[in-house]
Amino acid sequence: MRFKTKGMEPLTTEQKIIKAASKLFTQKGYAATKTREIAEEADINLALLNYYFGSKERLYKEVVKDKLWMLLEVMIPILSDEKVSLEEKVMTIAENYTQLLLEHEELPIFILNEWTVNEDLFVDITRDARLFAKPVIEKQLKENGMKVSVPDFIANLLSLIMFSFVAKPLIVSSGLVEEGEFANFVNRRKGKIWEWMTKINQ
């Protein structure tokens, strides 16, 4: 679905539209983004948007699918891989999420908000994305002498990594962390996640 062009080839019209729509939808949400804005941002004619994607809604679904996948692919394959130890899992996910979210700060709040506001849209997208990792994690938790449940383990892991990004406006405007220090803040936290996870779970 994704074509990463190594060189300088100009984007196709379709790619330009997706890129512009991606930026605007994640910045301002579905309803606040106007098709004319997308066209302008993509530097194409309004009619092209409907020519390629049929409607604003279909374009939106493409973007959501894309962004949701960015968020899930960091987690799903690693969690369910039996050959990866629990420590490696936590370290890798912490590392990958921190890096991803520093580059796309608006990603988690966009997805979580849209998922709340527009639940039906996600029904078909996530139909086959159930968490098949449960038994694997369960086994590894026992091996590590951790007495916590799988849901608590996952919730704690994601909380400690992702919440800072979701609550960034609150954290920054409260003066808790300076805007310019935010990257350092989350990078420092990233290095402590495994320690915290082991302590929490004994």
Partner DNA sequence: CCAAGGGTTAAACAAATGATTAAATCATTT
Partner DNA sequence: AAATGATTTAATCATTTGTTTAACCCTTGG
Say whether residue 150 binds a second copy (CB under 8 A). Answer: yes
To a second copy, the closest distance from the beta carbon of 35 in angstroms equals 13
Tell me which residue of 116, 130, 114 sits closest to 57, measured CA to CA: 114
95 CB neighbour count, 10 Å cutoff: 16
Q: Which does 35 bind (CB under 5 to 8 A by kind): a second copy, DNA, none?
A: DNA
d(CA 162, CA 101): 8
To DNA, the closest distance from the beta carbon of 1 in angstroms equals 17
Residues in contact with DNA, shown as a per-residue x/- string from 48 to 87 under the rule CB under 7 A: xxxx--xxxx------------------------------
Q: Are 174 and 185 in contact (CB under 8 A)?
A: no
83 vs 116 by CB, closer to a second copy: 116
d(CA 183, CA 179): 8
Q: Which does 152 bind (CB under 5 to 8 A by kind): DNA, a second copy, none?
A: a second copy
Tell me which of 27, 36, 129, 142 binds DNA, using CB under 7 A.
Answer: 36
Long-range contacts, 122-129 (Cβ 8 Å, 24+) = 122/64, 122/68, 125/61, 125/64, 125/65, 125/68, 126/68, 129/72, 129/76
Say whether residue 156 binds a second copy (CB under 8 A). Answer: yes
Say whether residue 69 binds a second copy (CB under 8 A). Answer: no
Say whether residue 129 binds a second copy (CB under 8 A). Answer: yes
Say whether residue 158 binds a second copy (CB under 8 A). Answer: yes
186 CB neighbour count, 10 Å cutoff: 22
Q: Which does 142 bind (CB under 5 to 8 A by kind): a second copy, DNA, none?
A: none
